[in-house]
């Protein structure tokens, strides 16, 4: 039996083992469903057309550089849509090739603005595509995702700056947290039956 097994006095080991695996499968399915397993979904549920529409909508408001666009999309979606440079910059390049945006150097950064053709395209596109992304993900899952990132950052700090005793204490704390999370799932499943 694994170290995070939940011991229940009225349950056989095989039944407990099966329940744990069922809980883990359910958790993995839910995490993928809401964007914790695949990087394209973890940053939001938007496709290529949505990033294009979002960039056009933002640039219709004012010229921006790439990192401004990423920050704005994150903020306007309430943290649900965390776009990466790997999706923003290729889209901006494509929009430049299509002569919908133009870039100019300002303060060492490439600032993008809409051309006349880009303004016409933006007028026909959705005005706030980030709202669709934000509405797809329940707030509790966004909060859990953020806490997971924070715990990971804290654990990395312990690894880099902690003493051997602190590293061991952190490992013990994370093992206990993992055990309690599985216990939480098992209790939920027990009450559902």
Least confident range of 15-29, 33-47, 176-190: 33-47
Domain boundaries, the chain: 13-34+138-192, 41-136
CATH T-level fold of 41-136:
Arc Repressor Mutant, subunit A (1.10.10)
In DSSP notation, 52-106 reads HHHHHHHHHHS-EEHHHHHHHHHHHTTTS----HHHHHHHHHHHHHTTSEEEEEE
Average pLDDT over residues 80-105: 92
Which 8-state DSSP code applies to residue 114? E
Instruction: Reply yes or no on whether the pLDDT at 10 is more than 60.
Output: no
The pLDDT tens digits of the residues spanning 124-176 come to 877 787 776 656 667 777 778 778 888 999 999 999 999 999 999 999 999 99
């Amino acid at each position: 039996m694994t170290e995070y097994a939940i011991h229940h006095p009225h349950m056989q080991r095989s039944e407990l083992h099966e329940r744990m695996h069922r809980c883990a499968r359910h958790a993995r399915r839910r995490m993928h469903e809401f964007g914790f397993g695949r990087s394209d979904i973890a940053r939001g549920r938007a496709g290529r057309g949505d990033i294009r529409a979002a960039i056009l909508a933002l640039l219709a408001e004012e010229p921006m550089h790439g990192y401004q666009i990423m920050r704005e999309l994150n903020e306007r979606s309430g943290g649900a849509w965390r776009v990466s440079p790997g999706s923003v910059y290729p889209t901006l390049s494509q929009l430049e090739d299509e002569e919908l945006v133009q870039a100019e150097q300002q303060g060492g950064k490439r600032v993008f603005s809409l051309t006349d053709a880009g303004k016409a395209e933006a007028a026909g596109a959705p005005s706030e595509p980030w709202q669709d992304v934000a509405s797809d993900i329940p707030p509790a899952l966004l909060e859990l995702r953020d806490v997971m990132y924070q715990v990971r950052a804290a654990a990395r700090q312990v690894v880099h700056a902690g003493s051997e005793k602190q590293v061991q204490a952190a490992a013990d704390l994370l093992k206990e947290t993992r055990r309690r999370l599985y216990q939480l799932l098992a209790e939920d499943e027990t009450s559902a039956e």
